[in-house]
Amino acid sequence: MNLQERVTGTFVERFGRAPEVVAKAPGRVNLLGAHSDYNEGLVLPAAIDRAAWVAAARNNSDVVRVWALDFAQEGTFALDEVAALRGVAVEPTWLRYPMGMAWAVQEAGELPFGMDVVLTSDVPVGAGVSSSAAVEMAFLLAWEQIAGFTLPNLTRAQLGQRAENEYLNVGSGMMDQFASVAGRANHLVLLDCRTLDHELVPLPEKTAVLLVDSGVRRQLVVVDYNSRPEQCREAVALLQPHLPGIQSLRDVSWADFENYSHHLPMVLRRRVRHAIGERERVLAGAAALRQGKVAAFGQLIKASQLSSRDNYEVSIPELDLLAAVAWRQPGCYGSRFGGGGFGGFMQVLVDLTAVDPVAQAMSAEFETAFGRTPRTFVCQIADGASVVSGNR
């Protein structure tokens, strides 16, 4: 039974009627552009073939009632109460993502309806592939279908970012949500996080993304993630007297860094060095892929991991080992951590013929070093979010 059949069948069993809409929204990988979105930089994410699915129907009330199939758990909230619960810890914790989207939709002037929902997902949680953004976008598409409004992809992503920033207090950008709704099979999405210009960049079809679990779960709201945007803002403030035109680290060039980095504490110098380098790596990576040079693109992925480890300091020993093992394997183009770092999965761009031997080598050395066998997933680059069935 596939996920569409499972979520639809469970809805009928639980609520005694057919759903009005079934929608799905994928997770994403981000092959280049680590911690670039909130610096108004450039990113190269892609949607993957693992998604959050919702089956939903209005229930003629102000209440959203969600059955989370994967947890065998129900959560409910009233639409007129979500604003008062902003920033408040709720149980079950997964319910905060649809609550955040309900709040953002209302803040945007749209009217979400009370509905009954069944939610399921095969996006790995805590893996750095944006399981939360997948849930947010799946709920948004369901509300659009039921309430009768339609939003552009950019607006969808911006609402997801607002939910994360202002409702969940996570200082992320809009990359995750945009990749989820705007992705296309066998393409990366080159997104300018300042201008919101975007372009689809082809990725060779005979490639896959191997996800290897570090076994370290990280919650972005409780680890050191939020300190990184704060440090970048601090660096901008310290550089502005010398570079009055800058608004973010997006505006700082290598020449500026050479001339003025001595005004920064050493930690902030490392953060700025990463931000500038990542901007240049994304531009070079997109150019390489347009020319079909996937090996050159892979070397830029490796450079991103090294900078994230040494300059941005968001890697951990488990991820460092997985990256080093992957780089030694034939058929591996490049490897770097997924998501915000501090744990989660290593994402490895590989030739399709090399998936199994690369995975086996990484698993064997990881088990020797850490005494446990990592989970692995193979992903294809897929289309973005969609309404699979609905009455509109």
pLDDT at 55: 98
Q: Does the pLDDT of residue 373 top 90, yes or no?
A: yes
Count Cβ atoms below 10 Å from residue 221 Cβ, excluding itself. Answer: 14
Is the four-CA dihedral 333, 312, 314, 385 of positive or negative sign? negative
The reported pTM is 0.90
pLDDT at 101 over 90: yes
Q: Per-residue pLDDT tens for 327-359?
A: 999 999 999 998 788 888 899 999 999 999 999
* Counts of helices then strands in the chain (DSSP H, E): 11, 12
Who has greater pLDDT, 278 or 169? 278
Name the residue among 336, 293, 292, 294 with its Cα closest to residue 312: 336
Average pLDDT of the segment spanning 223-236: 86
Q: Is the predicted pLDDT of residue 128 greater than 80, yes or no?
A: no
Rounded Cα distance between 157 and 228, Å, is 22
Res 225: pLDDT: 67
Contacts of 112 (CB under 8 A, 6+ apart): 64, 79, 102, 105, 106, 143, 147
CB 176 within 8 A of CB 45: yes
Q: Is 351 one of the annotated active-site residues of the chain?
A: no
Three-class SS string for 76-112? EEEHHHCCCCCCCCCCCHHHHHHHHHHHHHHHCCCCC
Asked whether the predicted pLDDT for residue 172 surpasses 80, the reply is no
pLDDT at 209 over 80: yes
% helix, strand, coil for the chain, step of 5 = 45, 25, 35
CA distance 201 to 198: 10
pLDDT category of residue 222 using cuts at 50, 70 and 90: very low
- How many other C-beta atoms are found inside a 10 Å radius of the C-beta of residue 17? 11
- Burial (CB < 10 A; 0-12, 13-18, 19+), residue 136, is buried
**pLDDT exceeds cutoff 70 at 218:** no
User: What are the chain's domains?
Assistant: 3-202+382-390 (3.30.230.10)
Averaged confidence pLDDT in the chain = 93
Q: Alpha-carbon distance 351 to 349, whole Å?
A: 7
Has residue 379 got a pLDDT over 70? yes
Please report the pLDDT score of residue 224 as a whole number.
67
Q: Which residues contact 185 (CB under 8 A, 6 or more apart)?
A: 380, 381, 382, 383
Q: Which amino acid is at 218?
A: R
**31-83 per-position pLDDT tens digit:** 999 999 889 999 999 999 999 999 999 999 999 999 999 999 999 999 999 99
Asked if the model's pLDDT at residue 258 lies above 70, the reply is yes
54: exposed, middle or buried (C-beta count within 10 Å: 0-12, 13-18, 19+)?
buried
25-39, 105-119, 210-224: which range is least confident on average?
210-224
Q: Which helix (H) or strand (E) holds 231?
A: helix 227-239
- Is residue 227 within 8 A of residue 377, CB to CB? The reply is no
State the catalytic residue, choosing from 176, 192, 197, 256: 176
pLDDT score of 221: 41
- Indicate the range of 111-120, 220-229, 284-293, 353-362 predicted with least confidence: 220-229
